[in-house]
Structure 1
Amino acid sequence: MATQHTYRVIVRGKWDGLTPRSRTELLATMDDNDLAQLRFTPEGTLAYDRALHSFSYRFVIVSDAADGEEMAAALAEDKAEQALRAAGLGYRELRSTVTDMDSMKINRKSR
């Protein structure tokens, strides 16, 4: 059995071709998507700015360590694309930042 690693992935992008209705709906739910609500979850947490210029999704991805960070990024981007398409929201320029939580080094303060 392959070793599983937990990855935290931030998928960033820009809104593209939002309709007036989409803009109104996003602004109406903006308080539900502020930084205080931002968490890494398997289904993803969406945050965006009031100008509706850019957004980010935060995901927890569990996958085989052998597949590496590239696979975690691809899986998270796929999830973000599916969620955005399902909501009828246009986007462009997706890019990801991945942190492998299982290989992360924790620096402890010395006394």
Structure 2
Amino acid sequence: MSARIFRITVSGFFDGLDSDQLTELIARAAEHDVLHAAFTPEGHLAYDLPGRTGFTFRFLESGAAEEDIVAATTRAEAAAEQWLTERGYPFKGLRSKSADLTQPPLAKRQRRAAHQRG
């Protein structure tokens, strides 16, 4: 069985940051710049404060089987939530998207057909 590579994006919104938290995040904005975002095993955080309250973590994982993407996504969501919680950053609307890079992307017509069957 060949290794599968998963890209997982976990997104959400900062919710009610106090002035100290906002100042801290803005001061560290260069290391979290959207233009330098990358998929990494530990997860890379990107945001564009103070203009937008949204953030995105990008994770790179691997697995042996197609169904491993579910567990990888769960781990990525937990890691993002833990990072935010440990630093006291309030957030809301956490959601994720996953892609198996070993699978060819579906064309628009194929995605529509798959959605109708499911």
Matched, 1:46 2:45: yes
Letter in 1 for 2:26: L
Structure 1 Cα separation of the partners of residues 93 and 2 of structure 2:
32
Query: What TM-score do the two structures reach when normalised by structure 1?
Result: 0.81
Question: Contact 1:15–1:55 (CA<8 Å) still a contact in 2?
Answer: yes
Shift of the alpha carbon at 1:53?
1.2
Shift of the alpha carbon at 1:66?
4.7
Q: How many residues of Structure 1 are paired with residues of Structure 2 in the alignment?
A: 104
Letter in 1 for 2:100: D
Regions of 4+ moved over 6 Å: none
Percent identity of paired positions between Structure 1 and Structure 2: 35
Letter in 2 for 1:36: L
Tell me what 2:104 maps to.
104
Secondary structure of 2:85's aligned partner: helix
Shift of the alpha carbon at 1:4?
4.1
Q: Which runs of 5+ in 2 are unaligned?
A: 106-118
Question: Contact 2:63–2:69 (CA<8 Å) still a contact in 1?
Answer: no
Secondary structure of 2:16's aligned partner: coil
Tell me what 2:78 maps to.
78
**Most deviating of 61-70 and 48-57:** 61-70
Query: What TM-score do the two structures reach when normalised by structure 2?
Result: 0.77
Tell me what 1:67 maps to.
67
